[in-house]
């Protein structure tokens, strides 16, 4: 029974991985080969078609199968993957090397910023390329492609607040149908021109590069479109586990993608005139409209995975202190990973609408696609080196060989995509630069704010001892003072004593810390240490994927000498108003940016999950 249960669970997780993890890379056949030949640097001759197919096949094999599926997914942070999780893992391994640690943190933040840029382009190019299939049916649909695309995207973002649970149950089964269908039509055309299978020989890719010389770089920039979405394998590992993702890739996704790409190549060998949109030209006219509908649904699923990933990365960045607190809504009572962040949702939507209106077609958007993904991949490889060298303690030569091999290949792809900066790549870089500036400014501003508060602060334990030497009136109940620094006196206590002239019978000075691990078990989140009569220092630890819930964590401390009665407990928060000043710190515009973000951040009470009718906020002005 145990074996049968294990197989059932593996099958369920594999089905889920198909729907969430492979949506992006699964829709790449819609536009990848079309854009390769649109560069005009690859002709529709048989040697060039075989060379391009060989490049696509070996790119999928090396970058996805070898790097992500077999190597990178081993570098997980307690089962979690993604840029932020890898940054945390690399930071743990280099904690004794401060300069290297700072560089890795910047890499992690830059990787997350590039992910946001990719998150804008993916829904735009995917949905556009699917709706453009209508043009194959009849050119009269051309004026309606952009409006239909915008309508689909608008509906997609409007329903995010309801969560993905209901839709998610259909993602996996539909994605199986999608891969079976695109693989089937690939087989149909391969049977008509079986010589395309010669492209499995890497010599055709090598000879293409030799024949075309420098122009191969421009072709590689389009070939790379075939592996966009590969980073999702690693980023979503925590949801499904390594084995289901690997099984789904090798059993269905990889074969279906290869068959479809080779089928498109066979079509172009037989009828070069259909290279303008080989994906939709593969299917007969009677199946064209159903294929357009299927492709649109597949791109919606691919976009959903990107949107959910953006919410997840945002939450992790907030927990780790790289973004201000934002309103986070949970859309499922069972799955804490299903969240909705309204601010991020509508900012991303606005950026996607701008991209669709500005570029107008998937071919134009393809010039903006790739540079963010290749940048993220390069950063992932570099950070992985420090994990396997300093955490796993592998020999230096092995670490250099393993990561250097992938870095050399990704470096070539990155160079090929750099060539597209002026023609469209600037768009994703602009988004990434904005997010990177916000994250770095917030992190630096928090450091400056903390330093300013510490400069004027009083040590907690001596202060309490002096207060209790001549105690004020003791109010019944428990006061919980949220404290940024465990050994310093919170300003909320100072203001409470100054204005209310009371001290509660029980006082808890609570410090919340987010560790660089994804999860902290509930039983290990809270620790209490007595300070003096009726006062305890409490330390609460959460992982960067945990939901912060202070009252629930405090309840686990029952029996430590105090009781937290929800009806007799008040929570005191210190709310600082940041005042930018000339001089040290950051540039004036960055200080103003931080002050605005700090002022507009969502309530700390909401972030800490404090009961709203039991919270007292006491403010102070702080100069940075």
Residue-wise pLDDT tens digits, 568-597: 999 999 888 888 887 667 888 998 999 999
Looking at residues 442-452, what average pLDDT do you find? 89
- Sort 535 into a burial class: Cβ within 10 Å, 0-12 / 13-18 / 19+: buried
d(CA 416, CA 421): 10
pLDDT above 80: residue 416? yes
Q: Is the pLDDT of residue 2 over 60?
A: no
**Whole-number Cα distances in Å, 373 to 111, 155, 396, 612:** 9, 26, 27, 42
Query: Binning pLDDT at 50, 70 and 90, where does residue 313 land?
Result: confident
- Residue 2's contacts (CB-CB under 8 Å, 6 or more residues apart) are none
| Angstrom distance (rounded) from CA 467 to CA 505 | 13
pLDDT at residue 167, rounded to an integer: 56
What number is the average pLDDT over the span 88-116? 87
Q: Tell me the three-class secondary structure of 431-464, residue by residue.
A: HHHHHHHHHHHHHHHHHHHHHHHHHCCCEHHHHH
pLDDT score, position 620: 77
Predicted local confidence at residue 1, as pLDDT: 42
Higher pLDDT residue, 266 or 468? 266
In the chain, the domains with their CATH numbers are: 14-424 (1.20.1740.10), 456-623 (no CATH)
Q: Report in angstroms the alpha-carbon separations of 422 from 118, 259, 319, 419.
A: 17, 34, 35, 7
Contacts of 270 (CB under 8 A, 6+ apart): 189, 192, 193
Helix (H, G, I), strand (E, B) or coil at 80: strand
* 526-532 and 535-542 beta bridge pairing: antiparallel
Distance CA 168, CA 19 (A): 7
Question: What proportion of the chain, given as a percentage, has pLDDT over 70?
Answer: 96
> Is the pLDDT reported for residue 451 higher than 80?
yes
Task: Average the pLDDT over 406-421 and give the result.
Answer: 90
pLDDT at 199: 96
* pLDDT at position 6: 65
Judged by average pLDDT, the poorest of 41-50, 83-92, 548-557 is 83-92
3-state helix, strand, coil in the chain (%, to 5): 70, 10, 20
Residues 418-429 have pLDDT tens digits of 888 888 889 999
Is residue 184 pLDDT above 70, yes or no? Answer: yes
The proportion of the chain whose per-residue pLDDT surpasses 90, expressed as a percent, equals: 43
Q: What is the pLDDT of residue 303?
A: 86
Residue 138 has pLDDT above 80, yes or no: no
Give the pLDDT score at 181.
97
Most confident of 37-41, 202-206, 316-320, 570-574: 202-206
Hey, which of 264-268, 471-475, 560-564 has the most confident mean pLDDT? Answer: 264-268
Average pLDDT of the chain is 88
Q: Who wins on pLDDT, 253 or 333? A: 253
pTM: 0.86
What one-character-per-residue DSSP string does 98-141 give?
Answer: HHHHHHHHHHHHHHHHHHHHHHHHHHHHHHHHHHTHHHHH-GGG
- Contact criterion met (CB below 8 Å) for 36 and 219: yes
pLDDT at 169: 64
CA 151 and chain centroid, separation: 25
């Amino acid at each position: 029974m145990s074996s049968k249960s294990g197989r059932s669970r593996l099958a369920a997780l594999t089905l889920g991985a198909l729907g969430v993890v492979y949506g992006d890379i699964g829709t790449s056949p819609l536009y990848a080969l079309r854009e390769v030949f649109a560069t005009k640097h690859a002709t529709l001759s048989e040697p060039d078609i075989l060379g391009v197919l060989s490049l696509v096949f070996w790119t999928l094999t090396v970058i996805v199968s070898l790097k992500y599926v077999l190597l990178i997914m081993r570098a997980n942070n307690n089962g979690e993957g993604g840029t932020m999780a890898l940054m945390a893992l690399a930071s743990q391994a280099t904690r004794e090397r401060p300069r290297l640690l700072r560089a890795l943190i910047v890499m992690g933040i830059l990787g997350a910023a590039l992910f946001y840029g990719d998150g804008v382009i993916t829904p735009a190019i995917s949905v556009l390329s699917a709706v453009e299939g209508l043009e194959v049916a009849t050119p009269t649909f051309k004026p309606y492609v952009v409006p239909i695309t915008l309508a689909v995207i608008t509906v997609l973002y409007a329903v995010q607040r309801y969560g993905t649970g209901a839709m998610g149950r259909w993602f996996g089964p539909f994605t199986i149908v999608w891969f079976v269908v695109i693989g089937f039509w690939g087989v149909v055309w391969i049977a008509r021109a079986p010589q395309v299978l010669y492209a499995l020989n890497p010599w055709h890719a090598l000879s293409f590069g030799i024949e075309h010389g420098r122009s191969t770089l421009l072709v590689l920039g389009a070939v790379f479109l075939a592996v966009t979405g590969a980073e999702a394998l690693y980023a979503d590992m925590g949801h499904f586990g390594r084995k289901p993702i690997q099984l789904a890739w090798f059993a269905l996704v990889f074969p279906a993608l290869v068959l479809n790409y080779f089928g498109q190549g066979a079509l172009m060998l037989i009828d070069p005139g259909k290279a303008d949109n080989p994906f939709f030209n593969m299917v007969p006219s009677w199946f064209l409209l159903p294929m357009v509908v299927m492709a649109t649904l597949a791109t919606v699923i691919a976009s959903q995975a990107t949107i959910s990933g953006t919410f997840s990365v945002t939450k992790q960045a907030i927990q780790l202190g790289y973004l201000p607190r934002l309103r986070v809504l949970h859309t499922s009572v069972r799955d804490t990973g299903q969240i909705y962040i309204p601010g991020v949702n509508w900012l991303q939507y606005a950026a996607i609408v701008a991209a669709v209106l500005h570029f107008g077609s998937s071919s134009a958007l393809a010039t903006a696609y790739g540079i963010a993904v290749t940048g993220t991949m390069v950063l992932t490889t570099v950070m992985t080196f420090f994990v396997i060298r300093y955490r796993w303690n592998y020999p230096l030569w092995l670490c250099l060989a393993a990561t250097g091999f992938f870095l050399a290949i990704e470096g070539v792809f990155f160079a090929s995509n750099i060539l597209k900066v002026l023609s469209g790549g600037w768009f994703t870089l602009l988004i990434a630069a904005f997010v990177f500036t916000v994250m770095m400014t917030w992190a630096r501003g928090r450091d400056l704010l903390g330093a300013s508060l510490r400069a004027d602060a009083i040590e907690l334990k001596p202060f309490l001892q002096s207060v209790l030497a001549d105690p004020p009136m003791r109010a019944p109940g428990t006061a919980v003072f949220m404290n940024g620094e465990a050994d310093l006196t919170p300003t909320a206590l100072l203001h409470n004593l100054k204005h209310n002239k009371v001290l509660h019978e029980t006082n808890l000075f609570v410090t919340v810390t987010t560790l660089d691990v994804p999860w902290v078990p509930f039983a290990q989140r809270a620790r209490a240490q007595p300070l003096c009569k009726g006062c305890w220092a409490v330390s609460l630890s959460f992982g960067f994927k945990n939901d912060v819930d202070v009252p629930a964590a405090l309840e686990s401390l029952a029996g430590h000498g105090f009781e937290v009665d929800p009806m007799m407990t008040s929570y005191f928060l210190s709310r600082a108003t940041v005042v930018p000043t000339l001089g040290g710190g950051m540039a004036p515009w960055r200080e103003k940016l931080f002050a605005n973000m700090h002022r507009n951040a969502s309530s700390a009470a909401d972030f800490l999950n404090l009961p709203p009718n039991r919270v007292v906020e006491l403010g102070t002005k702080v100069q940075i």
